[in-house]
Amino acid sequence: MKTLSFSNHETRYVIGQLIAWGCHNVLYTFTKFGTYDVTLLVRCRTTYVTLMGLMVSHLLRNAYKNQLQTNLSMQTKFLFVVAALFFASILWSFVNLSASIYVWHEANWTGNSLTFHLSYFLRSFSFLFLWSMFYSAASTVFISVDSEMRNAKLQILVRDSQLNQLHAQLNPHFLFNTLNSIQQAMFEAPGMAKEMLEGLKNLLNTTAKYEGVHEITLAEELEVVMNYISIQKIRYEHRLRVNLNVSAELKHYKILPMVIQTLVENAIKHNINRTHKGMVVDIVVTTQDEQLVISIVNDGELKTTKKTQGQGAVNNIRRRLALLYGNNGTLTLENLNCEPERVEARLTMPLIA
């Protein structure tokens, strides 16, 4: 069952008809009978004329719709519109004159000049012509608006599908790396592997809550990050040090899920074994120019001359940022000019509470 909504074509048409012919009723009353008292008889006459016009215009609209949907040439369609308008005007004039002669006794077929009858036709033709122009313009506008709305909804559906697909790509990547770490620990330290499995269970419980969600709060993302780091610290112990610097008032802002976790994961995976001393990861969250800025700095070196294993995850994040935020979401990676060598991954996103 169709619901009554202004987005429905028929509903808009009915509302437009009532408004247009309601205005006609008022104008016709005061232009034809403005110098007299608007009596009940006058109201009946004008209402009759208006109702006949509404019915004729409805027939005209159906004729337009049926003919314009055919595959005839534009010239043929134009001639049909002109002919339909002409005959509709004759029909409306006929019912009005009939009422004038036989009901209101205002005119007779033989006692009035051709000019009198022609004036009825021209008045009917003029108003139906204006009605046709308005109907055509309104239809064009609403068709255009509806088309844009459909395209916008389609783009949202496509974007959501792409985001879900990209988000889903990260989960196997993250899970594989974590299980690989647990597998190695099983041979080196079974007790450690048991602790890591417990940590993985907690981490999966947390990330499951955000499945299919395109944005989560910074606090929720940091919970995932700290659960992940707790697993890695069991394995690497003192070789992995993570510093988190974020003020409490920023934790309610929305960000993409799994972005900080993925960048921290890449940093650890590709740099933890570079030296026996391990590595330090610094996570700093600030705001700048109405943007949320997330900086992940770690010991290591960014290899820009060859395709690294982490590039797929980085491109994944960039595509998700572009889909959700356009040019307002960016991810850059660069080597910092310092000693020891350090790499910064810098995320920017709009401030969304």
Beta bridge partners of 297: 282, 344
Tell me how many domains the chain contains.
Answer: 2
Q: Please indicate, yes or no, whether residues 268 and 346 belong to a single structural domain of this protein.
A: yes
- pLDDT digits 0-9 by tens, 44-73: 777 777 788 888 888 888 887 777 666 677
Q: Please indicate, yes or no, whether residues 201 and 61 belong to a single structural domain of this protein.
A: no
* Per-residue pLDDT at 247: 92
Report which residue type is found at 91.
Answer: L
Structure tokens given for 274: 């570079």
Q: Is residue 142 part of a domain?
A: no
Q: Please indicate, yes or no, whether residues 88 and 183 belong to a single structural domain of this protein.
A: no
Q: Is residue 300 part of a domain?
A: yes
Angle, vertex CA 147, rays to CA 3 and CA 130, nearest 5: 85
* Per-residue pLDDT at 193: 79
Q: Please indicate, yes or no, whether residues 317 and 175 belong to a single structural domain of this protein.
A: yes
Q: Is residue 122 part of a domain?
A: no
Q: Please indicate, yes or no, whether residues 229 and 317 belong to a single structural domain of this protein.
A: yes
Beta bridge partners of 334: 344
Q: Closest Cα partner for 278 from 216, 214, 235?
A: 235
Containing domain of residue 295, as a range? 155-350
- In sequence order, the 6+-apart residues with CB closer than 8 A to the CB of 149 are 7
Domain boundary among 112, 133, 165: 112
* Per-residue pLDDT at 187: 77
- How far is CA 245 from each of CA 228, 229, 282, 294, 348, rounded to the nearest angstrom? 17, 15, 8, 10, 16
- How far is CA 5 from each of CA 8, 21, 122, rounded to the nearest angstrom? 5, 21, 36
Domain boundary among 83, 112, 141: 112
Predicted model pTM: 0.54
Q: Is residue 250 part of a domain?
A: yes
Q: Please indicate, yes or no, whether residues 99 and 22 belong to a single structural domain of this protein.
A: yes
Domain boundary among 52, 84, 112: 112
* Per-residue pLDDT at 6: 47
Q: Please indicate, yes or no, whether residues 217 and 295 belong to a single structural domain of this protein.
A: yes
Q: Which residue stretches of the chain have pLDDT < 70?
A: 1-8, 28-29, 31-42, 68-71, 100-114, 116, 151, 153-174, 212, 304-311
